[in-house]
Structure 1
Amino acid sequence: MQTEAMTTEGVTDSRTLAEVIDAELRARADPTRAEKEKAYLKSALTHYGVSVPDTRAVVTDAMRSAEFDHDAVVGLATELWSGPVGERPSAAVRQLRSVPIYERRSAAVMVLIRGKGHLSGADADLIEAFIREAGTWALVDPLAGDLAGPLADASGQFDQVLERWAVDEDFWVRRAALLAHLRPLRVGAGDFERFSRFADAMLEEREFFIRKAIGWVLRDTAKKRPGLIFEWLLPRAHRASGVTVREALRPLSPDQQTAIRSAHQSGRSSHA
């Protein structure tokens, strides 16, 4: 849907800019898409029905038009995520908080990612709060892979945060601890030792989103280092779920795949 160019010149406060972004998102709303997306994500949020590329374009235009420092990035993201804070909320704001808007929250995540150069490990509490409130992989995964991961690479402040996340009771937080390793491991860098500790401790979990995350990171790591993943997974295949094994096997050689499938199947047979 085509709309007029966003007018944000001279807008400096987070609340006003958030309202401008919200108006642009609503102008692109597609009720049919909203219904389908809500069903696909099994979402409890309200959906406008705006595509991810369109949401990203709105955020990019808004942030291109203003100067951003740390407080501006955090302020705008917070406004988009949960509405104004620090004042007595209006009825409209209370409604926003009770039924959050998916596209506003997606835009908030994009603001943090685009402004991550202004963020540090000191912002871990904010990121963690967003992860806990997200309730869907569509928000958790970029918060983990595109935000927490780069911040962890840039600052040792995040090391203990990830260690704590890895043993959290909330499976979305544990998933974030795993996926924070995804991008660097994908390109042959990153801290595989730490990821392997986290994954080993979660390998027998029954939660699908944990099983899938472990397999996803193993799969992408194997694209550059198949031998590393084969050696790691083979002695653990009997403990791993089918979801994890299927994901991890994709980049491996036929012989490696056969060996891991055999080890996985033998483990299932022994527990039958």
Structure 2
Amino acid sequence: MDPEDEAERILGELRAQADPVRADSEKRYLKSDFAHLGVTVPALRKVALSAVRVPPARDELLGLVDALWAATDGGRPVHEARMAAVEVLVKRVELLEPEDLAVAERLIRDSVSWVHVDHLAEKVAGRLIVRHPDLGAALDVWVGDPYMWIRRTSLLALLPGVRAGDPDLDRLTRYGDVLIEEKEFFIRKALGWVLRELSKKDPAWVTAWVEGHIADVSGVTFREAVRRLPSADADRLLAAYKAR
């Protein structure tokens, strides 16, 4: 594979499926300053993943990701090209080495929306950390990072372990204490999201966590955290939340 040529092919096929009406709608929904083509997610995924149907070499994969990420239209990044970069990286995440956590971090730092960040956080950074637990030390730094999307990543990267039934409860406890008074909506939402997913497997732990933070927990974190709890626990916590 020649990464630059393959990126051009992908972008050409995406442009061939452009829908200006959808592009305008999506741009407004995401409050985006990027160039948008208006390609549906299933169509985008089909085009992007065709490039890595046969596993490429690691350097080819990373070259393709960089070429797609750098694509511009009128001087603005192309939303669908960046989505394609994320799709191919997620699809072939098994090719990545521990040092490639820096690739995920670089892309997240160059992102301005959950739509590009969340898969990178969970399905790239998170999966790398599951495979190489020592990389979890990076999250301990990221949880205090000035950039909001990096702080969100420190939480969402815990999701693969939660979903696999091997949650990092120590980090979730520490990060919850650090972020409980966070003002950013997307951080509050991410904390609630992780707690909600954990509640599917360990409702007692989540119930105890919410109970211990009832005086300080934000509304969005609370709503997400109790969403899947047994009704008796959720009702009791809701009464305590309203009475605080």
State the TM-score, normalizing by the size of structure 1. Answer: 0.85
Q: Tell me which residue corresponds to 1:122.
A: 99
**Which runs of 5 or more residues in structure 1 are unaligned?**
1-11, 84-92, 268-272
Counterparts of residues 38-53 of structure 1 (less than 5 Å): 38-53=27-42
- What is the CA-CA distance between 1:225 and the residue it aligns to? 1.1
- What is the CA-CA distance between 1:143 and the residue it aligns to? 0.3
- What is the CA-CA distance between 1:206 and the residue it aligns to? 1.0
User: Cα distance 1:259–1:81, how it changes in 2: closer, same or farther (>3 A)?
Assistant: same
Match of 2:20 among 22, 31, 52: 31
Bigger drift between 116-125 and 173-182 goes to 116-125
Match of 1:179 among 152, 156, 173: 156
Q: Tell me which residue corresponds to 1:59.
A: 48
- Contact persistence 1:187–1:224 (CA under 8 A): no
Match of 1:237 among 214, 233, 238: 214
**CA deviation vs aligned residue, 1:150-204 (integer Å, no higher than 9, x gap):** 1000013421211111110001000011001113213422212212211221011
**Which runs of 5 or more residues in structure 2 are unaligned?**
none
Q: Tell me which residue corresponds to 1:106.
A: 83
Counterparts of residues 1-272 of structure 1 (less than 5 Å): 12-64=1-53, 67-83=55-71, 98-267=75-244
Q: Which amino acid aligns with 1:38?
A: K
User: Cα distance 1:256–1:129, how it changes in 2: closer, same or farther (>3 A)?
Assistant: same
User: Which entry has the higher C-alpha Rg, 1 or 2?
Assistant: 1
- What is the CA-CA distance between 1:110 and the residue it aligns to? 1.0
Name the CA distance, whole Å, in 1 between partners of 2:116 and 2:135: 20
Same amino acid, percent of matched pairs:
40
- What is the CA-CA distance between 1:242 and the residue it aligns to? 0.5
Name the CA distance, whole Å, in 2 between partners of 1:238 and 1:213: 19
Q: Tell me which residue corresponds to 1:87.
A: none
- Contact persistence 2:20–2:37 (CA under 8 A): yes
User: Cα distance 1:27–1:204, how it changes in 2: closer, same or farther (>3 A)?
Assistant: same
- Contact persistence 2:101–2:128 (CA under 8 A): no
State the TM-score, normalizing by the size of structure 2. Answer: 0.95
Q: Which amino acid aligns with 1:25?
A: L
